[in-house]
């Protein structure tokens, strides 16, 4: 390709207006459209004013996203591995004052719902416990049409402009020349891209935290991510952010547990959701809203249209207005979970979009993705996607059409008196926001602070959670072979927390510390910790919905096991038995219990707490079984609450923990100790042991 002195060929990454990071030592041909036209700006989509809406005429963005959307046949490019369930949304509070959305007009009304949870980076065959963002997509079949809240379990995102979405996903996915690693980001491409995109630093803190390895879909928050509008009957607009709060509280696993769970049961999250619904332990979330007006948005420290930022709950409390309950599994995985199509553009009257550029880009790309993946514009005819209210229009034909206009007229207006008509009084109306400004590609200067909220997130964590972030960064970056990329990330971390940067540098053997990357906007040191950003500071105080793994055997004490079962039932927890053999075990009184897992297939990482109560005779053989020793040792070193019967002490000794028992370990000698042990499990982990 001939070079031109007027067009630089070194690839660049623009963090915001006026800030450019150049990859030193590399020269390549210029980026072009598929038609061969050189691209001047590959970082920003075309907008009206820096904070204004995107323009449909942005052919460069549309062509780039169009190609990306069509990369997989028929698997989703992202969110490929997912699991869904049916349920309902119940309105707990009417909101006539802020929205005319029909779903919020009648307290106590239940609206059918379908929810799909997913990982992002892995393909369909990947494992559940990858360190990854989790999708949390909700389809509400309202009386005025389908409303999709298409979010994640993290309230912020990696990028500010949708122009960068294909680059982000390409970098995060398996490397194209070798097709690995799968379902993880511990590789050069991902961290190379991230280290060149300072707007990703807030999200980096979240994905390196325990939020990225949830214990269960049932113990996971969901967020709408973007700022939306609610519009009332008088046309007044209010800004809103959507939150799904799990009734059972938040819970995650430790990284060593995640690795072992993926080996023991790669379908762990799927199985957990299926089993919970099948036994009637229906997962439930509260829908909470952060509601604020234009005045707050103008005074807030950051831009509410920036998807890499959040609003701390201490500044705008979350108002609970409804609840979501999942009470039915799918009849057919492919027909429902695989064919369900979520689109951020699917909103109803009373809900509206804002000029968040990432949201605007999603509104375009989701519809295009579903068209390609499901093979037809008629994907709304599929039962899982079809609204449960009347559908009337003149759209016709196309691949897989199951309904068409009836009669002579297939257009509007017509003088035949046939077909539906527009409804100005009840139909959807966009909020008439004022728009003015230059048409250009740029990043708003109000999006320029990339480190302050990343720092706020980090200082909001407990010391244990901070250690997990440090270790996660050290682990992931240790898999990066290019030293310059490691150093570049440490240089970013110095803007977030100096101790964190030094700790990660020590793990990676980086000495001396690289200079901090000059921030485009001063890093604020005055943002206070937010307890809402921590999992451990919001311990749910319940063991409900959790699993107590009982290592038992033939001859185990029936009285002890019955007392454990009753105590767990009182807490709303589930008991599952692990034994030396499959089938059933016969207890000391002749009664039997069904074995859930054989010892070499049921490691303690599958449970939230464990009780070790084999008979004295069984302990003799268990002491020589590596799986049994690992079961006990892992439970201890993963900070689980551990109860043990009087006959089990030799097994604990053989596992190397007998002399280290602490207050998180309980001798189950009588009813009082059993009740006390199960109640202690409400803390979920015995953190002092860490």
CATH 3.40.50.880 domain position(s) in the chain? 543-689
CA 398, chain centre distance (Å): 35
- Percent of the chain residues past pLDDT 70, beyond the cut: 95
pLDDT of residue 134: 98
Give Cα separations from 521 to 14, 81, 201 (angstroms): 14, 38, 13
pLDDT of residue 70: 66
Please determine, for residue 166, whether its predicted confidence score (pLDDT) is greater than 60.
yes
Segment 367-413, tens digit of pLDDT: 888 988 898 888 898 999 999 988 888 888 888 888 888 889 888 88
Q: How far, in Å, CA of 474 to CA of 676, rounded?
A: 38
Say if CB 682 and CB 541 are below 8 A apart: yes
pLDDT of residue 103: 97
Average pLDDT over residues 225-235: 97
CATH number of 69-381: 2.40.180.10
- Percent of the chain residues past pLDDT 90, beyond the cut: 79
Segment 55-83, tens digit of pLDDT: 887 877 887 886 677 666 578 889 999 99
Residue 246 half-sphere exposure toward CB, CA atoms < 13 A: 25
pLDDT of residue 28: 65
pLDDT of residue 72: 63
Say if CB 310 and CB 532 are below 8 A apart: no
DSSP 541: -
The residues, ordered by sequence, that sit 6+ positions from 415 with a Cβ below 8 Å of its Cβ are none
Angle between helix axes 498-508 and 463-478 (nearest 10 degrees) is 40
Report the range of poorest mean pLDDT among 13-17, 298-302, 574-578: 13-17
Pairing of strands 439-441, 547-551: unpaired
Q: Which CATH number fits domain 543-689: 3.40.50.880, 3.40.50.720, 2.60.40.1120, 3.40.190.10?
A: 3.40.50.880
Average pLDDT over residues 19-26: 40
pLDDT of residue 59: 78
Average pLDDT over residues 195-207: 98
pLDDT of residue 8: 37
Segment 249-279, tens digit of pLDDT: 999 999 999 999 999 999 999 999 999 999 9
CATH 1.20.1370.20 domain position(s) in the chain? 452-537
Say if CB 216 and CB 272 are below 8 A apart: yes
Segment 420-436, tens digit of pLDDT: 887 888 888 899 999 98
pLDDT of residue 7: 43
Segment 452-491, tens digit of pLDDT: 999 999 999 999 999 999 999 999 999 999 999 999 999 9
Active site residues: 79, 152
Four-residue CA torsion sign, 527, 463, 134, 322: negative
Token pair belonging to 563: 């007392």
Average pLDDT over residues 89-111: 97
Q: Is the pTM of this model over 0.85?
A: yes
Closest CA relative to residue 265, chosen from 18, 35, 605: 605
In the chain, % helix, strand, coil (3-state, to 5) comes to 35, 20, 50
Segment 206-218, tens digit of pLDDT: 999 999 999 999 9
The C-alpha angle 493, 498, 504, rounded to 5 degrees, equals 60
Please determine, for residue 2, whether its predicted confidence score (pLDDT) is greater than 80.
no
φ and ψ at 110, to 5 degrees? -110, 130
CATH number of 452-537: 1.20.1370.20
Say if CB 486 and CB 508 are below 8 A apart: yes
Q: Is residue 6 exposed (0-12), middle (13-18) or buried (19+ Cβ within 10 Å)? A: exposed
Average pLDDT over residues 631-640: 98
CATH 2.40.180.10 domain position(s) in the chain? 69-381
């Amino acid at each position: 390709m001939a070079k031109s002195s007027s067009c630089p060929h070194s690839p660049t990454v623009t963090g915001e207006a006026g800030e450019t990071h150049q990859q030193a030592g590399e020269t390549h041909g210029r980026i072009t459209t598929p038609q061969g036209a050189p691209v001047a700006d590959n970082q920003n989509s075309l907008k009206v004013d820096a904070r204004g809406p995107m323009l449909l005429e942005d052919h460069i963005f549309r062509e780039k996203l169009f190609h990306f959307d069509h990369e997989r046949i028929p698997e989703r490019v992202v969110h490929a591995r997912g699991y869904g369930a049916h349920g309902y949304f119940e309105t707990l509070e009417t909101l006539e004052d802020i929205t005319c959305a029909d779903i919020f007009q009648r307290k106590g009304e239940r609206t059918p719902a379908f929810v799909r949870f997913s990982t992002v980076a892995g393909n369909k065959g990947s494992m559940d416990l990858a360190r990854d963002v989790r999708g949390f997509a909700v389809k509400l079949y309202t009386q005025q049409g389908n409303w999709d809240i298409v979010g994640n379990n993290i309230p912020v995102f990696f990028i500010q402009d949708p122009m960068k979405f294909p680059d982000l996903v390409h970098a995060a996915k398996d490397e194209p020349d070798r097709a690995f690693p799968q379902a993880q980001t511990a590789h050069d491409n991902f961290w190379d891209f991230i280290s060149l995109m300072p707007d990703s630093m807030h999200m980096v803190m979240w994905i390196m935290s325990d939020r990225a390895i949830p214990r269960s879909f049932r113990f996971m928050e969901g967020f709408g991510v973007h700022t939306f509008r609610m519009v009332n009957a008088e046309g007044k607009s209010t800004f809103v952010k959507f939150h799904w709060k799990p009734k059972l509280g938040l819970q995650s696993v430790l990284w060593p547990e995640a690795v072992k769970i993926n080996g023991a049961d790669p379908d762990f999250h799927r199985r957990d959701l299926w089993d919970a619904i099948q036994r009637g332990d229906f997962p439930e979330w509260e829908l909470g809203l952060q509601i604020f007006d234009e005045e707050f948005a103008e005074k807030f420290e950051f831009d509410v249209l920036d998807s890499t930022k959040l609003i701390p709950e201490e500044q705008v409390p979350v108002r609970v207005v409804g609840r979501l309950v999942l009470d039915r599994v799918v009849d057919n995985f492919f027909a429902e979970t695989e064919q369900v199509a979520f689109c951020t553009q699917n909103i109803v009257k009373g809900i509206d979009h804002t000029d968040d550029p990432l949201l605007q880009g999603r509104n375009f790309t989701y519809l295009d993705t579903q068209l390609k993946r499901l093979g037809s514009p008629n994907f709304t005819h599929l039962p899982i996607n079809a609204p449960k209210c009347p559908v009337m229009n003149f759209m016709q034909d196309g691949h897989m059409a199951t309904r068409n206009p009836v009669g002579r007229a297939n257009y509007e207006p017509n003088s035949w008196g046939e077909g539906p008509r527009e409804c100005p009084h009840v139909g959807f109306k966009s909020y008439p926001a004022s728009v003015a400004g230059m048409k250009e590609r740029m990043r708003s200067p109000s999006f320029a602070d990339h480190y302050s909220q990343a720092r706020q997130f980090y200082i909001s964590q407990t010391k244990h959670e901070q250690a997990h972030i440090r270790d996660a960064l050290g682990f992931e970056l240790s898999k990066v072979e290019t030293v310059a990329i490691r150093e570049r990330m440490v240089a970013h971390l110095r803007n977030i927390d100096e101790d964190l940067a030094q700790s990660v540098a020590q793990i990676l053997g980086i000495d001396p510390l690289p200079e901090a990357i000059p921030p485009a906007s001063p890093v604020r040191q005055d943002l206070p910790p937010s307890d809402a950003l921590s999992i451990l500071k919001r311990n749910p105080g319940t063991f409900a919905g959790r699993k107590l793994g009982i290592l038992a055997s033939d001859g185990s004490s029936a009285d002890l096991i019955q007392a454990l079962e009753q105590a767990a039932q009182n807490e709303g927890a589930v008991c599952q038995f692990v034994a030396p053999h499959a089938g059933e075990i016969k207890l000391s009184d002749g009664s039997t219990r069904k074995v859930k897992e054989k010892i070499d297939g049921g490691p303690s990482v599958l449970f939230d707490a464990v009780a070790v109560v084999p008979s004295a005779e069984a302990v003799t053989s268990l002491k020589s079984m590596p799986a049994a020793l690992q079961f006990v040792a892992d439970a201890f070193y993963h900070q689980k609450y551990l109860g043990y019967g009087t006959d089990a002490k030799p097994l604990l000794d053989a596992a190397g923990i007998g002399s280290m028992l602490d207050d998180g370990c309980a001798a189950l000698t009588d009813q009082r100790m059993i009740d006390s042990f199960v109640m202690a499990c409400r803390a979920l982990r015995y953190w002092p042991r860490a």
